[in-house]
Amino acid sequence: MLTADPQRQWLTFWLCIWVVVVSLVIRSQWNKRLPSVGLPTIYLLQLSILHWFGAMIYAFPWYNPKSLYLISQKITLTTTAIGFTQSVYGVIGFGVGTVILAPIVEKIVKPSRRLYVPKQPNLKFPNNYILLGVFFYFVLGPILGRIPSISVLVNSGFVMLSTGLCLACWKAWYTRDKRALIKWLLISCCIPFVTILGSGFAGFGVMAVVPVLIFVFTFYRPRWKSIILLLLFLLLGLSFYTNYFRDRNLIRAQVWGGKGFESRIEQLQQTASNLEFFDPYKQAHLELIDGRLNLNPQVGESVRYITSGQIDYANGETFLEAAVAVIPRILWPGKPANGGSGDIVSRYTGVKFSEGTSVGVGNVLEFYLNFGTPGVILGFAVLGTVLRVIDITAAKKLLFGDWEGFSFWFLPGLALISPGGSLTEIVGAVAGSVVLVYLINKFYIQKVSRSRALPTASYY
């Protein structure tokens, strides 16, 4: 077994490989012939939040976890290094699918020209989706969120909100309304604070704003400004996470305790008054990231647990459960597949979690526990190919002014992006979003009066 220093050297090497692959994927999306709306980049950013940053802190020679929680969960340099290696294999597979395989598939399929017909966009479309997203999540969610099958549709509220905000930013950019673009970006960045005040959770809000920022990143010019702003967002995001996790229990005590919004806002103000920027030399900051943004150790534990012969590979068991998830529970009340990761993490890592603790299986671990390293590489290659094809189709729809067609591809594409969830959750979310966007576009949006059209635009 490698000692600490060689392990950190390998971690540094794999961290660099990860950055290179992500850079190549982003570069490929600047292809003039095959445009992008940023779906592969959105996925890689969310995957990086769960894997890259957790590995990064272990590359620091001064970091060693000391909290009882991290020690009890077997979170160590060794398990992180083993798990991150599998994650890098997955990212390489994703890059191959996105950069190499997706263009080949797109060329073979050769979509009919009738699929891309210039249209006059409905200028009210973005606002309608924004309002529907807010209504679905904040109004219907508390009422219908626990009803089988219906909950899948209701929980698509944030995906609808992100889609509407993306289109609002696109509309502002091509009408050269910089004030409107800044306004929509600021509104997007406020979503995490709204979810914190409303439910005590920041993750849902962050995952709603990331697609908007990456979407704008794909068309904003000059590109060097986009890159700088994206890097600034990542640095500020780390500071946001460390401050949120530091005071999370205090915030949730206000929210879950039924306190009024004044008390909740006051607690957020206290958190802001004690704002700490992320410090890579501060043990407390590194442990907060290690405990909340590091899925590598559970992958590493699974690798050790399975290769030691204590349990066999699942051999596609969770894939079958995901396939069953397409069937609505309202039609099959007793279907065996359940949303969430269940006890799958405990079963395939041997790590016991406290009762009531929700541990997401994540894409890397689920691909590995089914077919090992080949499953990780192939699974991510397929995922990258599918997501990039959806991405290309949505981008072409957008460029031809077909905003309804864009939403029909973009919204399910966002639902497909869940690097920390299970395949069962993902399949159910995608199926639900397809149904939802069809019903909305068919029976609601088409009834909205059309305004004067925008001229057909181009990214380039």
Give pLDDT tens digits for 168-223. Answer: 999 999 888 999 999 999 999 999 988 888 888 888 888 889 999 999 999 988 88
- Quick check: 313 and 372 in contact, CB under 8 A? yes
Higher pLDDT, 146 or 8: 8
Q: Which two tokens stand for residue 326?
A: 């397409």
What pLDDT shows up at residue 331?
61
What number is the average pLDDT over the span 432-459?
Answer: 65
Report whether pLDDT(456) > 60.
no
Give pLDDT tens digits for 358-367. Answer: 677 999 999 9
Report whether pLDDT(447) > 90.
no
- Burial tier of 121 (Cβ tally within 10 Å: 0-12, 13-18, 19+): buried
What number is the average pLDDT over the span 256-278?
Answer: 87
Report whether pLDDT(441) > 50.
yes
Return the number of other C-beta atoms located less than 10 Å from residue 339's C-beta: 17
Q: Which two tokens stand for residue 411?
A: 């919204």
Distance separating alpha carbons of residues 37 and 410, to the nearest angstrom: 8
Query: Which three-class secondary structure string do you get for the chain?
Result: CCCHHHHHHHHHHHHHHHHHHHHHHHHHCCCCCCCCCCHHHHHHHHHHHHHHHHHHHHCCCCCCCCCHHHHHCCCCHHHHHHHHHHHHHHHHHHHHHHHHHHHHHHHHHCCCHHHCCCCCCCCCHHHHHHHHHHHHHHHHHHHHCCCCCHHHHHCCHHHHHHHHHHHHHHHHHHCCCHHHHHHHHHHHHHHHHHHHHHHCCCHHHHHHHHHHHHHHHHHCCCHHHHHHHHHHHHHHHHHHHHHHHHCHHHHHHHHHCCCCHHHHHHHHHHHHHCCCCCCCCCHHHHHHHHHHCCCHHHHHHHHHHHHCCCCCCCCCHHHHHHHHCCCCCCCCCCCCCCCCCCCHHHHHHCCCCCCCCCCCCCHHHHHHHHHHHHHHHHHHHHHHHHHHHHHHHHHHHHHCCCHHHHHHHHHHHHHHCCCCCCHHHHHHHHHHHHHHHHHHHHHCHHHCCCCCCCCCCCCC
Report whether pLDDT(35) > 50.
yes
Confidence grade of residue 458 (pLDDT, cut at 50, 70, 90): very low
Q: Any idea where the domains of the chain sit in the sequence?
A: 4-447
Report whether pLDDT(98) > 50.
yes
Higher pLDDT, 334 or 256: 256
Most confident of 277-281, 288-292, 363-367: 363-367
Higher pLDDT, 156 or 285: 285
Report whether pLDDT(1) > 80.
no
Give pLDDT tens digits for 104-162. Answer: 998 888 766 666 777 777 788 898 899 888 888 777 766 665 665 555 665 677 888 99
The structure's pTM equals 0.91
- What mean pLDDT, rounded, does the chain reach? 86
Beta-carbon contacts of 105 under 8 Å, excluding residues fewer than 6 positions away, are 385, 389
Distance separating alpha carbons of residues 169 and 165, to the nearest angstrom: 6
What pLDDT shows up at residue 203?
82
Distance separating alpha carbons of residues 275 and 191, to the nearest angstrom: 19
What number is the average pLDDT over the span 89-94?
Answer: 98
